[in-house]
Structure 1
Amino acid sequence: MSENHHHGLSVHEVVLLLETDPHRGIAEEEVLRRRAQFGPNELPGVRGHGVLRRIFSQLNSPLVYVLLAAGAVTTAFGKAVDATVIFAVVLVNTVVGYIQESRAESALDALRTMVTTPATVVREGRRQTVPSEDLVPGDLVLLEAGDRVPADARLVGHAELRVDESTLTGESEPVAKDETVLPVPTPVADRRNMVYSGTLVTAGTGAAVAVATGAETEIGQIHRLVGAVRGVTTPLTQKLARFSAFLTVAILVLAALTFAVGVARGQHPVDMFTAAVALAVGAIPEGLQAAVTVTLAIGVSRMARRRAVVRRLPVVETLGSTTVICSDKTGTFTENQMTVRHVWTPAGTYLVAGAGHAPEGAVTDAGGRAVVLAAHDDGGPLRLALAAAAVCGDATLSRHDGGWHLSGDPTEAAMVVAAAKAGLTREAWEAERPRTGSVPFSSERQYMATAHRDPLTGGGTVFAKGSVEAILRLCSGQLAADGSVEPLDPDAVHEVAAERAAEGLRVLATAVRWQDGAGVDEASLPGSMVLTGLFAMQDPPREAAASAVRACHEAGIAVKMITGDHAATATAIARHVGLADGSVLTGPQLAVLAGIDFDDAVEDARVFARVSPEQKLRLIESMQSRGHIVAMTGDGVNDAPALRQADIGIAMGRGGTEVAKEAADMVLTDDDFSTIEAAVEEGRGVFDNLTKFIVWTLPTNMGEGLVILVAIIAGTTLPILPTQILWINMTTAVLLGLMLAFEPKEPGIMARPPRAPDRPLLTGPLLRRTALVSALLLGATWAAFHWSLGQGASEAEARTLAVNLFVAVEAVYLFGCRSLRGPGQPGGLFGNRWLILGVGIQALAQLVLTYVPAMNHVFETAPLSGAEWLVVLAAAAAAGLLVAADKRLGSTAF
């Protein structure tokens, strides 16, 4: 942004400062010089992660480091099978994670539409059209309705210019512009003499001198603010990092202890080093990385079906841990489509159903009867009020590409749609009574008027619409129900207008005059017209917003509205969506708060209005400082810094700006706030399934490590060989553990509070369960192995018995992990068909391991007898009963 406050300078001062001409612009030679000095009028590009960086990010885990080291050691010792399996695990994890992140980035790229905006400029007195990136400070830019403003510029001339600045400021209504010099402290949203890059001209024309381009514009400032925001790690990333670090240290300590004890007992150091590697590989949950990736990928897939594109896998889980959702108002809680709600006439009040641009919904009277009019109908004030709404303006309604589209001022467009809902259109009216003159809207007069000729009578009709005060100044009477003119009752009109304004609705009035001629003379209008009605309109709340907010509250998630719009408008919408039970703070009020006072005020308030992008960022940081996991939704450029700072930024795919999408972690393709509720539900399900996998894998992996450790300490033969441990880890992680990723969500998942952000993965109940199941696996394996040797079996047969027993106990324990909060099974015993399939394939794999000669040779296994299989089944059943008893004692709050 420029260091000069151009809104505080006169046109003459701005022209002198920028060395330009307010009529002829600048010379072509000067354009070239300034372009070389200031660069192109575009924002710096965003550089994505390269292929190598993405690959190495998948390897960035202490557990993976240990696996790679173990693979290198086993390779050095000539253990080709062991090394191959270890490296295969790492490779699979890396490939799956890389593919998922690449697909997510491609999905976001498909949403982007990079369009070059043409700009109309005057250079050396010649009007010409140039690409927006060719603009330089000092260029004289011409603007008209439909143009997107190409740079920040100071107005030097205008004719009824109105600009939609909602993407930059959050202001839901177009802003009337003029050239008045403003005080320097005036905030961006109130700078009427400036137009800003990226905003949209909705009405009128204007000429402005470009004062800032590219990175120096207001959008450029926000772009820099986004780039300066630190990256926020997700709760899952933080917890997995701590979990992995803890496991790595524990496993390395156990491996070192194994090596030291074995060497102290006289064992060969190489053999003991191999045993220590076997313990480390056995204790490391190799499937954890794959489970995390697959579980999150399933969450991403489910979210895609619910119209959300996720850029990074952990985002889905992060939503499940969210404690606060901060949402923009315009386009998020609301439709971002101005809609008429009420029409008041001296004869009665009418309700207008429906929302948005589609002329769908009825206009109903006090008795609920639908009103249908036609252009040629005679009638009272409602017909003439709607006629004024349809024809007194320049907005048009058309249907193409399967939808309804409006052009022109949003307020005018809302009135056009309201008239169309009652069957009255501008085209039909003007086909019989063509327009013959007009008085354009201006910020000074606050109304516009159009004249229409009646070919049958030769006379004319004049319609006017505008602010209530402006229209009342034109009126001397009001239209009664029977079509006659009665004395004007301004007190009644003001009372109705005040009631609607208190509800956060914008109110416009309409009037009519019949005359002999066909033209319109502005000087003759005051006191000559008849009031026909009042139109109350708003940018309506999304239909599903209130229920989504209510569901979030029931789930223990606070919802806050953060908007750049006025406090009254924000409060009205907040009341509609269920956020009216908290205080409202404005940007100026926030500006005088600091420290703990600021944090306390932010914690208590539900609605923040008229806030700047910097204040939005500060609000997010304040909530995070209180330990909250914050999700931020938004669609405008002004939302981008907060989207970047939030633990998860959620942008709108349809109505959102490219800047907002670039800053966000997730993009909603339907722009529906209720989708966030679905995302929270999916996120909680994802975290539950990850927890189930950890509850399953940690005890089983620790059991494997303990089998090796106890054998070394006792100085006895290993009940399970290192290659057999690798077999168990590889097959069970894929065929058993990963099947938990497909678990359905548990009942009541949205009725419980969010998981505390500081709650670790390794909780007391998990450590208790780990100790119990590890002890069961160790005891059962040790007893079965030595029982088999005592029966005269070979070491190969005894180890095969131990391996199959270990896998059988893991399979039975898997069913015990399907529910974290009770003894039941979500969806019943067969609620997860993938799990049943996985157990079946695992059983076949164990038969292949036991009876196929080639497998016997590679893994040193041997066929088992029927009696030995009965031992396996009995041990698995006993372990299942013990785990079920433990769950009933309350060890479920993981």
Structure 2
Amino acid sequence: MVWGLMQDATDDSLPQGLTAAQAQARLASEGANELPRQQRRSGLRIAFDVLREPMLALLLGGGVVYLLLGDRQEALILLAFACLSVGITAVQEARTERVLEALRDLTSPRALVIRDGTRQRIAGREVVRGDLLVLAEGDRVPADARLLQASGVFADESLLTGEAIPVSKLPGQVASPPRPGGNDLPFVFAGTLVVRGSGLAEVTATGARSEIGRIGKSLGMLEVEVPHLQRQMRRLVLVFAATGAAVSLAVVALHGLTRGDWLQAVLAGIAVGMSMLPEEFPMVLAVFMAMAAWRISQARVLTRRASAIETLGAATVLCTDKTGTLTENRMAIARLQRPGSASFAVGDGPMPPDLLNLALMGAAASTPQPFDPMEKAFFALALPDPAMRLIRSYPLSPGQLSMTQVWQDGDQRIAAAKGAPEAMADLCALTPAARAVLADQVQGMADAGLRVLGIASCTLAPGADLPEAQAGFALAFAGLVGLADPLRATVPQAVAECRTAGIRVIMVTGDYPATARAIASAAGLAAGTVITGPELETMSDADLTKAVKTATVFARIMPEQKLRIVQALKAGGAVVAMTGDGVNDAPSLKAAHIGVAMGGRGTDVAREAAAIVLLDDDFGSIVTTVRLGRRIYDNLRKAMRFILAVHVPIAGLALMPLLTGLPILFGPVHIAFLEMIIDPVCSLVFEAEGEEAGVMRRPPRPADQPLFSGQTVLWSLLQGLTVFAAVAAIFWFAPGFGLAADQVRGLTFAALVLGIVALILVNRSASASLVAALIRPNRALFVVLPLVAAMLAVVLLWQPARALLGFGALEPRWLLVPPLAGLGVLLLLEAAKPLLRRAVRRLPG
């Protein structure tokens, strides 16, 4: 008997187990009992991974080229800002890795094993195949094992199956280890929890060879989805690089052939190339992603890949597990019902005394210090009298799906029993009519997705002997109790907000269809036809792709089937986000466009597979992240639109002298100053912009929507041409007013800078007016505008800065020209914005 395992450790009746030498040999040959994990990336490896991005490689390559050409100032500026961009990204990546490490369990579960005939408490990672495990209530099973002895063992296998209800375990022999989730099986599995009973088990598999490890290993066969934004940015950089290189070569040839000065031709070509190459894009993207990760970390959301935040903003389907994700993964009493009366919903008012007594009888029929979630639910609702003393327990058994506890209450002895309704009907010898009424009541609770238990009790005659079995009590049926895994309080609002945002929420669970339908209804999901795992098994890939377009609930789903559902959704063109916390969710988390894992209850395997981790397990945080993802994309498009518009006048002013015969206006140092200081600093304004009105009342953007659509390009070109026209006019006409070449250069440069400031205000919102843009709160704007004004004042008024940039001193009256030019650009574009907006809407994209 298992009771013998609890006796003195030196008892000769104990099994001997492995010897210390055998255990050490197997540990050395088969490895530690832990899941293989990805090697933690060092700071240097993170920096190297960041540098592999083509955008940053292009930026660093440009700096190296200038350094080889001897232009140290320009090279240092480029390299300094490149290092800053790399540093921001690398620091954020390193911080994310550290937080993930902190989320892991501090140690593996401790295990009580028998070795050399004695009980020993060892670290779970030291358990080896063949070890004898001593299991008791509350133990976390450290490895897959076959039960040799068991007394009323029930295990919570929800992390493997998604089902919150514990399953019974019995010793025995089977041909091969079964899958988790079945009742009366002789196997327990690593990572599961013993909620009742005790037993002795022989370890059959450890580490990667266990059931939890088998699911973990399958992740290596899946490729992580590359975010849409990352792919678009790579293509964008290649296009800009190719165009810039072609134009630069043309400028060198044109300048050299027409003016004969090939050294100046090379410098002109470099300046034009800098004006057209997207040096700002990598920095802006890195800053946006790093700031996005920081912003959502304030909402207790961790990003393992910052670009996934933006992708989540484009999600069209959110697949979510039920247990532990939509629900709290704990049992609570939802309904009570006496025979022949209406059911009472807990929380609908004061509980009637007879129903309170029913709850007390259910608690009395439970273990005094429960581990079982259902028994904990009874104690949460009603606590037995502490003066009562437990006399004897009659546990659950395969032939008797009920348990009875006998208590001494003063001079009385009371027996309280609970179990399956049909078992309680037998124990209470109900008449056929009473059984029919009971069946209707049970069906009503089951249709609501509740786990139903029957309660019975009786008072024993003074001096009577206790019966040998539960059938010996003269029990009277007291009523039914319906238990539910409660829905998280934030879920209905989060689901409703997903619906208004055009995001379809699909529940994918291993639980029963009735329970899934009830939870879906409470969460606000339109639970029509429920597709079950067996039904899905008969579907072809084509039929499943068609079915997932309308289905909202999948029940009794196995882990491999979850993966098929995600793949079917992707095949249908959906951008899929998958949430979950269990090991069974990990393959689908990795296969989805965005995997969202629960950090509190979630397993290491799930967190490793996901791109986003919710540290507080709050489903509502999903909506927060979606909202932020949409805001990020909106603001990123504003920044990119602004940068593209800025490149037009810069490139135009670099080319204008070559086409008109005027003196060269800007050299590489001027272009570097504009692009690597003013543009990135100004772009920070867009990162700090608030969300647009109605950001969660519009459908997700198309998955293939380009970052630069036809509308965006046209609007940017029109803005840039407006600034270019204003600045080019100053460049063209200023010499006629007696200004020297260096004075013209300074005046034109100042006008261009203030034109850039005008573009900031124009692009802050696609729809807001100038007044709204000015009063709209943005802390970064209040920092950037004075900073730009201060830098402009320095380069125009401070002699050393003027000498560095080749500017001449200007009379005070000429200092009024640049602000007037910037104001004119701002007013003209704001006046034209409604007309231009109507025009670009007619373009595709």
TM-score bracket relative to the smaller structure = over 0.9
> Cα gap change, 1:57/1:824 in structure 2, threshold over 3 Å: closer, same or farther?
farther
Q: Is structure 2 residue 144 aligned with structure 1 residue 152? A: yes
Q: Of 115, 130, 143, which aligns to 2:107?
A: 115
| 3-state SS of paired residue (1:56) | helix
2:601 match: secondary structure: coil
Residue matched to 2:393: 438
Cα gap change, 1:67 to 1:661, in 2 (>3 Å): closer
Letter in 2 for 1:849: V
1:503 aligns to 2:448 (yes or no)? yes
Q: CA deviation at 1:829?
A: 2.3
SS of match in other structure, 2:665: coil
2:414 to 451, 461, 479: 461
After alignment, is 785-794 or 884-893 more displaced? 884-893
Kindly tell me: are residues 672 and 517 of structure 1, through their superposed partners in 2, closer, same or farther at Cα, counting changes over 3 Å? same
Matches within 5 A, 1:485-504: 489-504=434-449
Deviation for aligned residue 1:170:
0.7
User: Equivalent residue for 2:75?
Assistant: 83
- Is the CA contact (8 Å cut-off) linking 1:327 and 1:634 kept in structure 2? yes
Contact 1:293–1:313 (Cα < 8 Å) also in 2 = no
Alpha-carbon shift at residue 740 of structure 1 (Å)? 1.3
Contact 2:566 2:592 in 1 (8 A): yes
- 2 CA distance for matches of 1:826 and 1:777? 22
1:648 to 568, 584, 594: 594
- Match 2:407 to one of 438, 446, 452: 452
2:462 counterpart residue number? 517
1:9 corresponding residue in structure 2: none
Query: What corresponds to 1:4 in structure 2?
Result: none
* SS at structure 2 position matched to 1:460: strand
- Equivalent residue, structure 2, for 1:275: 268
Deviation at 1:414, TM superposition (A): 0.9
Once the two structures are overlaid, the 10-residue window that deviates more, 330-339 or 314-323, is 314-323
Aligned ranges 1:412-427 → 2 under 5 Å: 412-419=375-382, 425-426=383-384
8 Å Cα contact 1:89-1:286 kept in structure 2: no
Q: Report the 3-state secondary structure (helix = DSSP H, G, I; strand = E; otherwise coil) of the residue aligned with 1:90.
A: helix
Q: In structure 2, what residue type is equivalent to 1:233?
A: V
Cα gap change, 1:27 to 1:565, in 2 (>3 Å): same
Counterpart in the other structure of 1:71:
63
Match for 1:498: what amino acid?
A: Q
Tell me the secondary structure at the aligned position of residue 223 of structure 2. coil
Deviation at 1:78, TM superposition (A): 2.8
Q: Secondary structure of the equivalent of 1:265? A: helix
101-110 or 147-156, which deviates more: 101-110
Aligned to 2:3: none
When the two chains are superposed, the root-mean-square deviation of aligned CA atoms in Å is 2.5
Q: TM-score, normalised by structure 2?
A: 0.93
User: Whole-Å Cα distance in 2 between the matches of residues 417 and 755 of structure 1?
Assistant: 46
Identify the range of structure 1 (157-166 vs 764-773) with the bigger mean alpha-carbon deviation: 764-773
Alignment of 1:163-562 (within 5 A): 163-179=155-171, 187-190=179-182, 192-346=185-339, 348-349=341-342, 351=344, 353=346, 368-371=349-352, 381-394=354-367, 396=369, 407-419=370-382, 425-426=383-384, 429-431=385-387, 433-455=388-410, 458-476=411-429, 489-517=434-462, 520-523=466-469, 525=471, 528-562=474-508
1:204-259, Cα deviation, whole Å (9 max, x unpaired): 11222221111111111112112222122112212211222222122212212211
Structure 1 CA distance for aligned equivalents of residues 682 and 468 of structure 2: 82
For 1:808, the aligned partner's letter is: L
**Of 131, 136, 146, which residue of structure 1 is paired with 2:123?**
131
Question: Once the two structures are superposed, what CA deviation does each residue of 1:549-603 show, in whole Å capped at 9, x if it has no partner?
Answer: 1111110111111222222222221121122344322222222222322211233
Aligned to 1:584: 530
User: 1:61: how far off?
Assistant: 4.1
Question: Does residue 1:46 correspond to 2:38, yes or no?
Answer: yes
Number of matched residues? 826
Contact 2:761 2:770 in 1 (8 A): no
Structure 1 stretch displaced more, 179-188 or 31-40:
179-188
Give 2:130's aligned amino acid: G
- Deviation string 1:658-701 (CA, Å, 9 cap, x unpaired) is 22222222221221111100110011111111111001111102
| Cα pair 2:467 2:473 within 8 Å, conserved | no
- The 8 Å contact of residues 41 and 132 in structure 1, kept in 2 or not, is answered as yes
**Match 1:879 to one of 806, 821, 825:** 825
Q: Distance between the aligned counterparts of 1:853 and 1:319, measured in 2?
A: 51
Code of the aligned partner of 2:380: V
| Residue 163 to residue 797, structure 1, CA distance change in 2 (3 Å) | same
Give the Å deviation of 1:186.
5.8
Among 792, 795, 808, the residue aligned to 2:741: 795
Q: What SS does structure 2 have at the residue aligned with 1:115?
A: coil
Partner residue in 2 for 1:670: 616
- 1:594 matches 2:557: no
User: In the aligned structure 2, how far is the partner of 1:521 from the partner of 1:340?
Assistant: 30
Aligned AA for 1:742?
A: A
Say if 1:499 and 1:711 are closer, same or farther in 2 by CA, change over 3 A: same
SS in 1 for 2:181: helix
SS in 1 for 2:552: strand
Residue 744 of structure 1 contacts residue 826 of structure 1 at CA under 8 Å; is this kept in 2? no
Matches within 5 A, 1:592-741: 592-741=538-687
* Alpha-carbon distance between aligned partners in 2 of 1:827 and 1:348, rounded to the nearest angstrom: 64
CA distance in 2, matches of 1:441, 1:322: 47
Give the C-alpha shift of residue 824 in structure 1.
Answer: 6.1
Conserved? CA contact 1:151–1:217, under 8 Å = yes
Task: Determine the C-alpha separation between the residues in 1 that align with 2:794 and 2:162.
Answer: 65
Q: Percent identity?
A: 32
Aligned-partner Cα distance in 2 for 1:56–1:26: 47
CA drift of 1:826 comes to 6.4
1:588 and 1:136 mapped to 2: Cα distance? 36
What is the rounded CA distance, in whole Å, between the counterparts of 1:438 and 1:76 in structure 2?
A: 86
CA contact 2:389–2:408 (8 Å) conserved in 1: yes
Aligned pair 1:58/2:50, yes or no?
Answer: yes
SS at match of 2:602: coil
How many angstroms apart in 1 are the aligned matches of 2:313 and 2:731? Answer: 44
8 Å Cα contact 1:571-1:580 kept in structure 2? no
SS at match of 2:713: helix
Which residue number in structure 1 is paired with residue 8 of structure 2?
none
The answer to whether the 8 A contact 1:343-1:535 is kept is yes
Q: Which residue number corresponds to residue 4 of structure 2? A: none
- Normalised to the residue count of structure 1, the TM-score between the two structures is 0.88
Q: CA deviation at 1:268?
A: 2.3
SS of 2:696's equivalent in the other structure is coil
Identify the range of structure 1 (21-30 vs 510-519) with the bigger mean alpha-carbon deviation: 21-30
Instruction: Indicate how the Cα distance of structure 1 residues 822 and 625 shifts in structure 2: closer, same or farther if over 3 A, else same.
Output: farther
Measure, in 2, the Cα distance between the counterparts of 1:626 and 1:714: 55
Distance in 1 (CA, whole Å) between partners of 2:752 and 2:487 is: 57
Change (3 A) 1:716 1:572: same
User: What is the CA–CA distance in structure 1 between the aligned matches of 2:177 and 2:132, rounded to whole Å?
Assistant: 26
Task: Give the stretch that moved more between structures: 821-830 or 688-697.
Answer: 821-830
State the SS of the aligned residue for 1:531: strand
Q: What is aligned with 1:481?
A: none
Report if the CA contact (8 A) 1:96-1:290 is conserved.
no
Residue 187 of structure 1 and its aligned partner are, at CA, apart by: 4.2
Contiguous gaps of at least 5 residues in structure 1: 1-20, 354-361, 372-378, 397-406, 420-424, 479-486
User: SS of the residue aligned with 1:188?
Assistant: coil
Distance 1:43 1:64, change over 3 A: closer
Q: Distance in 1 between matches of 2:278 and 2:368?
A: 64
- Cα 1:524–1:590 change in 2 (3 A) is closer
The Cα of 1:282 is off from its aligned counterpart by: 2.1
Q: Relative to 1, partners in 2 of residues 1:343 and 1:128: Cα closer, same or farther, differing over 3 Å?
A: same
- Output one character per residue of 1:12-70: Cα deviation in whole Å (capped at 9) or x when no partner: xxxxxxxxx99543444443443343222222232122323321333334444443343
Q: Which amino acid aligns with 1:465?
A: K
Could you tell me how far 1:739 is from its partner in structure 2? 1.4
Conserved 8 A contact 2:82-2:283: no
Cα deviation, residue 100, structure 1: 1.7
